[in-house]
Structure 1
Amino acid sequence: MSGRALADQPWLTAPETRRVLEALQAAGGDDCVRFVGGCVRNALLGAPVDDLDLATKLRPEQSMAALKAAGVKVVPTGIDHGTVTAVSGKRPYEITTLRRDVETDGRRAVVAFTDDWSEDAARRDFRLNALYADAGGRVFDPTGEGVADLEAGRIVFVGDARTRIREDYLRILRFFRFHAWYGRGEPDPVGLEAAGELAAGVARLSVERVWKELIKLLAAREPAPSVRAMVTSGVLAETLPEASDDLGPFVVMAQAVAEPELRLSALLPEDAVVVEAAARRLRAPNAVTARLAVAARGGVDAETDERRMRALVWSDGIEGAVDQAWRALSAGRVDAVKAGRLVAAAEGWDRPRLPVGGREAAAAGAAPGPEIGLTLKAFEAQWIAEDFPADGHELRLASALRKVRASSAQSA
């Protein structure tokens, strides 16, 4: 035990939590279940707690039977690895039997169940994640260093860093992600050296796991120091080979905006084709892939004014125009004052609808079929060039029709 205790944690004393704990304790005794990992770590830091994970001496089938007997819904979400999920008061509780690794391949592990808390702690990634708390909030620190690491802002692997990484190469990215979120100062040199030495192992991971870890890292308050360490160690080149070693644009972007997707865009070149290919390789969500590609179009420069910004909103949407303004800032084409002004112009503009349609084009004399469509396109181009005027549409349609017919005559 560490001598520490969790204080004032509503989730710990909530009726739905007590229901789960009491169900498991009825089957295995008071010491059969403890909270573990992120909820304990964040509670000690005074940070928000999202996920509630528990470790138990009970076997998965025993946990399920105990929960069902207490009327708690339970789902065998990962029963081969000892994990079931209880749902109490609409809140999920992931419950995993204490275990030790029998065999690992860098992605998956074959495990054996145990009733030894120290064995369970020994297979976890970092010492600050190997913290447990019982139903009364008493904190247990099996490695003897987890609480100290947490207080000092150190991300240190449990045991031998290379061994932990070879068990699951995702721990390379988690090392940098946890440093971004919880670390202070330079990364642990032993862990950093191991991550760099084994960086090629990232290629063995599923791209979905890599994507999720990368986005979580970039969502940290100040991710730049960790990303810089990824560059110097060679890990970023293995993770995102499309990225530049010049982190100047990324540093500016990370200071300007908090959105991880937009921060990611600043690691990539302003080349929509390259960016889209990178996002598809990582199997990013389709909406994110499209957003990254639009942000890379480079539509904002030193000459862009509010009028041009409205045209950009018309073609690329508010989000696309705003993203391009921030990319221009990160690339040094505009300063922070101008970027802020352009963003405000985009977000404050009430984008109108095209004021004419096929009926109006036909009334202006356009022949049914392709000529109507061409006339509307010519009208739209002129309307945008004139900064979206609210009137004069009949004259503009007539002018558009003349241009279409003149172009057709030249082509003939």
Structure 2
Amino acid sequence: MTARAVPVPPPVTDPQGLERLIEALDGAGGATRYIGGWVRDTLLGQAPQDIDVATRLSPQEVESRAQAAGLNTWSSASGIAHGTIGVVVGGKSFEVTTLRRDVATDGRHATVAFTEDWQEDAARRDFTINALSADPLTGEVHDYFGGLDDLAEGRVRFIGEPAQRIAEDHLRILRFFRFHARFGKGTPDAASYAACVARAKDLMALSRERIAAELVKLLAVADPLATVEAMLEGGLFAPVVPEITDAARLAALLSAERAAGVAPDGLRRLAALLPPSPVVAEQVAARLRLSKLERKRLALAAEPDGTTVAERQAYAIGVESAVDRLLLADEPQAARRIEHWQRPSFPLSGGDLIAMGLTAGPAVATTLRAIEQRWVREGFPAKAVLDGYAREAVTAVVGPAG
């Protein structure tokens, strides 16, 4: 085991809140540490998204001590069974998890028992860079499996035997590639990669929701191209999304995103990996059980549009989907132009047409749609110009006034 000093994390909302939690959980006595992602990201100089806390204390004792310190807690039967208690500190929720060891796993779920052994808890984690823990007072990092060296060298590596770790939780296959895309340098760790390739069919046992969530996260990293190409070479997509066979469109999209200055988006990048077919997009979205909004967006990204005017597309399908289409069509400047475009409201109603002399009935809706289409084609002119369009349209239907 090695140790390294790193900065203690900054306070959250309440400057004393985090200190109160650590004090309540005997941080000074070594009973509680920061763990996992916070330690990893802090070492890399990145802003951690969450602070995860691990402790030797039982869930019941965590709850009791936190409440005695005046901190609100929350829990669930499932959470307690897995050792997790939620604590609210300075308006932010933290999860405090009791050290654990796996008793049984089935590739999706684990039955755990509690332990007081930090190394035993670290051994059940997936990758060496995620098994680091840090003293909350001194910043000393505890490393049981070479995670510090792996982090420095940009190597994502399973703890222990890769095939066994994958057998414990099949989602670790996709997690391996996501973490390699984010933290890895060069080619993936050979033993870990080989195990993922050999056990790729294990992904079929996972819920499609879990696969979708992990895949979108993977694609949302800054540059997933090399990782996706490695996955294609190893046949990793074949068991769950066999439609993904080539990364050329993804490469073009990444280039367009950079040119436009548009933030990475996992769903847009998934669209780039699929054949440009709304039917295929719908099939994949349904299989991955994406939300209705995500399904619609994926299908819209695959559907060709007759107009190349960015604002017209944004008006018709929304800014987000228009940006998707424009970037996929390699039009980064147009995408940048409309990224923050505000869709104008059509300032005309059927009542306005009736007031101009049009008889109530089906002709009102038909005429209104025609006027709106002209208004969009002409670049959304002012209300006075639109009123002129309306009078022309009404006259065309009812004839000139006596």
User: What is the rounded CA distance, in whole Å, between the counterparts of 2:398 and 2:377 in structure 1?
Assistant: 20
- Pick which of 66-75 and 348-357 moved more: 348-357
User: What is the rounded CA distance, in whole Å, between the counterparts of 2:118 and 2:124 in structure 1?
Assistant: 10
- The answer to whether structure 1 residue 324 and structure 2 residue 330 are counterparts is no
Q: 2:151: which partner in 1?
A: 150
Are 2:126 and 2:172, in contact at CA under 8 Å, matched by a contact in 1? yes
The alignment yields a C-alpha RMSD, in angstroms, of 2.6
1:5 is displaced (CA, Å) by 1.1
- CA gap of 1:368–1:10, structure 2 versus 1, over 3 A, is same
Matches within 5 A, 1:387-402: 387-390=379-382, 391=384, 393=386, 396-397=389-390, 400=393
User: What is the rounded CA distance, in whole Å, between the counterparts of 1:248 and 1:368 in structure 2?
Assistant: 54
Q: 1:66 corresponds to which letter in structure 2?
A: R
Q: 2:71: which partner in 1?
A: 72
1:96 is displaced (CA, Å) by 1.4
Matches within 5 A, 1:9-408: 9-11=9-11, 15-25=16-26, 30-77=29-76, 78-135=79-136, 136-143=138-145, 145-243=146-244, 245-257=245-257, 258-299=264-305, 304=308, 308-329=309-330, 339-347=331-339, 351-390=343-382, 391=384, 393=386, 396-397=389-390, 400=393
- Pick which of 71-80 and 341-350 moved more: 341-350
Q: Secondary structure at the match of 2:33?
A: strand
Are 2:253 and 2:328, in contact at CA under 8 Å, matched by a contact in 1? yes
Q: 1:264 corresponds to which letter in structure 2?
A: L
1:402 is displaced (CA, Å) by 7.3
Aligned residues: 388
Q: Secondary structure at the match of 1:55?
A: strand
Q: Secondary structure at the match of 1:263?
A: helix
Q: 1:410: which partner in 2?
A: none
Q: TM-score, normalised by structure 1?
A: 0.86
User: What is the rounded CA distance, in whole Å, between the counterparts of 2:398 and 2:286 in structure 1?
Assistant: 42
- CA gap of 1:34–1:361, structure 2 versus 1, over 3 A, is same
1:316 is displaced (CA, Å) by 1.7
Q: Secondary structure at the match of 1:266?
A: helix
Structure 2: any 5+ residue segments left out of the alignment? Answer: 258-263
Percentage of identical aligned residues: 41
- CA gap of 1:113–1:347, structure 2 versus 1, over 3 A, is closer
User: What is the rounded CA distance, in whole Å, between the counterparts of 1:348 and 1:165 in structure 2?
Assistant: 43
- Pick which of 285-294 and 53-62 moved more: 285-294
1:242 is displaced (CA, Å) by 3.1
- Residues 25-49 of structure 1: CA deviation (Å, up to 9, x unaligned): 18xx712222111111111111111
- Pick which of 14-23 and 351-360 moved more: 351-360
User: What is the rounded CA distance, in whole Å, between the counterparts of 1:347 and 1:64 in structure 2?
Assistant: 46
Q: Secondary structure at the match of 1:310?
A: helix
- CA gap of 1:389–1:38, structure 2 versus 1, over 3 A, is closer
- CA gap of 1:167–1:273, structure 2 versus 1, over 3 A, is same
- Residues 184-237 of structure 1: CA deviation (Å, up to 9, x unaligned): 000011111111111111122222222221222122111111111111111122
Q: 1:378 corresponds to which letter in structure 2?
A: A
Q: 1:173 corresponds to which letter in structure 2?
A: L
Q: Secondary structure at the match of 1:238?
A: coil
1:280 is displaced (CA, Å) by 3.4
User: What is the rounded CA distance, in whole Å, between the counterparts of 1:192 and 1:173 in structure 2?
Assistant: 11
As a proportion of its length, which structure holds more helix?
1
- Pick which of 109-118 and 285-294 moved more: 285-294
1:146 is displaced (CA, Å) by 0.8
- Residues 284-319 of structure 1: CA deviation (Å, up to 9, x unaligned): 333333222222222278xx3xxx333323322333
1:117 is displaced (CA, Å) by 1.6
User: What is the rounded CA distance, in whole Å, between the counterparts of 1:261 and 1:349 in structure 2?
Assistant: 21
- Pick which of 73-82 and 10-19 moved more: 10-19
User: What is the rounded CA distance, in whole Å, between the counterparts of 1:65 and 1:203 in structure 2?
Assistant: 42
- CA gap of 1:299–1:103, structure 2 versus 1, over 3 A, is same
User: What is the rounded CA distance, in whole Å, between the counterparts of 2:112 and 2:342 in structure 1?
Assistant: 58
1:321 is displaced (CA, Å) by 2.2
Are 1:366 and 1:375, in contact at CA under 8 Å, matched by a contact in 2? no
User: What is the rounded CA distance, in whole Å, between the counterparts of 2:147 and 2:284 in structure 1?
Assistant: 37
- Pick which of 114-123 and 270-279 moved more: 270-279
Q: Secondary structure at the match of 1:236?
A: coil
- Pick which of 314-323 and 187-196 moved more: 314-323
